[in-house]
Each structure stands twice: as structure tokens, then as C-alpha cells.
Amino acid sequence: MWALVQEHGAPATLERLLAEEFPDDATRNSVLAKRKGLDPRRFAETTMHRAARLGARIVVPSDDEWPGRVDSLALLELEAPGRINRDVRPPLCVWVRGGWQLGEALDRSVAVVGARASTGYGNQVTYELAYGLVEHGWTVVSGGAFGIDAAAHRATLAAGGCTVAVLACGVDRPYPSGNAGLFERISEKGLLISEWPPGSEPLRHRFLIRNRVIAAATVGTVVVEAAARSGAAQTMSRVLALRRTAMVVPGPVTSAMSVGCHELLRSRPDATLVTSALDVLEAVGRMGEYDQPSPRGPEHRRDALDEESALVLEAVPPRGSIAPEELAARAGLTLRTVLRRLSLLEVAGLVERRDGEVALARRAKAAP
């Protein structure tokens, strides 16, 4: 269908199908099955009225707010042939509910997805990731499901950012119903989007279909928790096929909800391990935009010592005191060098004099 619209345009394609001009038997069977008891033009008119009452709109590829990044799906089957990447062409339209311009909202966006049966660990990591992304002006995209998806949406709303929920049903059909209140908040502060018209039911196969939009519309995708077989892992396979930034949060090795994450990290060298929002930003941002220093432990005064001073300090016994001459022998340095270094160590507050001998300063003893 997508290929027909690309070749003839949407209006002409509709006319050809209504005139029963089909390119192949599969299209013929599908169209005839869907036309039973259905007037397409009347259905379109009714749906548009329904969307208008809801405050929703339809966005098509010729509109200014169309998210151009999803057009890369046209090449996915060619770039990564296989059963999982069949029928993954771009959507012909997107139904949108919310005040943001769709293209603008998705321009700087990261998807955060994961297990529905998320753990406390996964929810906490998700909250911190989403909150950090919002603080740097990024949109957080997810699928509106329980677990990691809901945590990502809620954290984004709490941070005052824009979140986009990509649904597998109409934008007027909250699914799961337990997230109905969350969807209302998203429609007010962010966007609800779907390629199925208002009123469409959340059929099982549609969840895997919508995952390709999450993968294509964003700059990169983070999987926080995923079981051994999960939709999040399938989404990541398409992220990698589209050459988007694929990021994975590791979890406890004893957690069943992190098995899929660890398998991705082990089997896909092009997946990036992330543990914080800064890791994610460094992966998806422009080169040098979010550089961060390597993690280091706490600094101590002795870290800045030169080699000779460090040798003298190491030779001072942990308890009691020592004469400078004995200290020089233990350090393997001349007495003159030791006396000079002791003066520096004393100024630094690392050693102290006691009756002509040297001992570790009391504060220095407590520091380690």
C-alpha cells in the first residue's frame, strides 16, 4: 500500500483500489476483506469529525510537521532483510493528540522502553534517565504501557518536559486502561500519536508494528529492563538495523528482567552500555556537546605528592614516631632529601614533629 501511494499518490491509489485494480492477490484479498460493509469516504468523514471532537488531527508526509526521520523505514527491509523486517514501511499518516508540533517534538528525542513487569531498580533508573534528558531539552518517547514506559512518561511530566506516547490503538482508546489518567496528562503536556484512526482497538500484532515507529522517529533508544523474549528487545533490533543509537542499561545478574539487556550487550557490540542520563546524552549528542570526565574516586591530599615525598610518607610508621635518620634508611633516600621533604609534608598537614621525631599527623591517620 505504501508503494502504491508513493507511485500514484493517496487519492489516485484509493480510486484504483475502489475500481478493483489490484497489484497482486494479497492486496486484493486484504482490500476486499476490509471493504465489507464499509464506505471508505464515509468512514473517513466520520473519523475526521470524531477526531475534531477529541481535539486530535491527522498528519501526512506532505505536512510541515511530518517527522521526516520515520521515512528511513522505507529502506529497512533492504538494509536488514529477514522475517522481522517485513512490512515495515513508513506509516501513511499519523493521528496526533496534543499541542506540540509533531516534527518539533521528535527532532531531539530519545526513546526509553523496557519491561512491563519492571522492578523498583528499573523504575528508579528510568526516572533518573528521563528527568536528566528533560533537563537538557530532550523529548522522551515511549509506548504508554505499564512498567518502564509509564515510568518514563511520568518522570518526563514531573520534570516539565515533553513526552510522546506511541500507541497501538486509537488516540481516544487509552490502553492499558489503568493508564487512562496518564494519557490525559500526556495529551495536555505532550503528544499521543498513532497510525491507526480514533476508535481503533489495541490488537496484539499492532504493538510490534508500532515499535518500528518508536525506533525510527527518535535519535536513539534506551532499553532499561527486558526479559529474555520481549518487545523491547525486538525494538532494539530495528534500532540497530536503522543505524540509530542503541543503548542498554545493565541490571543485577540475578534479575530475570535484565536477561534481555545482558544478552543485547553480549551479542551486539554496536549497543552502548549506559548508566546515567549523561551517558545517554554523550551517545546521542553532537561530538563534544556532552563530554563528561571519567569517574574517579575521592581525591586525597597525598595524591598530589611527588615521588620522593610519597616515599617518605610511606616510610612513616602508622603508629608511634621515627627519627629522621631511620626514616631516611627506610625510604632509601639521603637524610638531606628526607628533611627537605618532611618540611613540605608538615606544611601539607600530613606529618608532625614530636620530640625531634616524625609521626603521622592525627588528621592524616583519620583520613583513610
The C-alpha atoms of residue 91 and residue 305 are separated, in whole angstroms, by 63
Q: Residue 294: its pLDDT value, please? A: 62
What mean pLDDT is predicted for residues 202-225? 93
Q: Residue 368: its pLDDT value, please? A: 43
Percent of the chain at pLDDT above 90?
Answer: 65
Burial (0-12, 13-18, 19+ Cβ within 10 Å), 268: middle
Identify each DSSP E strand in the chain by its residue range.
Answer: 56-59, 94-97, 109-113, 139-142, 163-166, 191-194, 220-223, 245-248, 272-273, 351-354, 357-360
**Topology classification of domain 39-284:** Rossmann fold (3.40.50)
Residue 215 reports pLDDT greater than 50: yes
Q: Residue 86: its pLDDT value, please? A: 64
What would the DSSP string read from start to end of 223-260? Answer: E----SS-HHHHHHHHHHHTTPEEEE----TT-GGGHH
Higher pLDDT among residues 149 and 30, named by residue = 149
Residue 262 reports pLDDT greater than 60: yes
Q: Residue 104: its pLDDT value, please? A: 96
Domains 39-284 and 302-366 share a fold: no
Percent of the chain at pLDDT above 70?
Answer: 92
Beta carbons of 92 and 195 less than 8 angstroms apart: yes
Residue 205 reports pLDDT greater than 90: no
What mean pLDDT is predicted for residues 314-319? 90
DSSP three-state, residue 349: coil
Beta carbons of 190 and 96 less than 8 angstroms apart: no
Beta carbons of 180 and 169 less than 8 angstroms apart: no
What is the domain partition of the chain in residue ranges? 1-38, 39-284, 302-366
pLDDT digits (tens, 9 = 90+) for 44-74: 999 999 999 999 999 999 999 999 999 999 9
The residues, any chain, with a CB within 8 Å of residue 270's CB and separated by 6 or more, are: 240, 246
Q: Taking phi first (over 0 means left), then psi (-120 to 50 degrees means alpha), and beta for anything else, what does residue 165 get? A: beta
Q: Residue 184: its pLDDT value, please? A: 96
The C-alpha atoms of residue 322 and residue 285 are separated, in whole angstroms, by 56
The matching CATH number, chosen from 2.70.150.10, 1.10.1740.10, 2.60.40.10, 1.10.10.10, for 302-366 is 1.10.10.10
Angle, helix 335-347 to helix 307-315, in steps of 10 degrees: 90
**Which pLDDT band, with edges at 50, 70 and 90, does 97 fall under?**
very high
pLDDT digits (tens, 9 = 90+) for 230-241: 777 778 888 998
The residues, any chain, with a CB within 8 Å of residue 254's CB and separated by 6 or more, are: none
Beta carbons of 111 and 214 less than 8 angstroms apart: yes
pTM comes to 0.81
Q: Residue 200: its pLDDT value, please? A: 93
What mean pLDDT is predicted for residues 254-263? 93
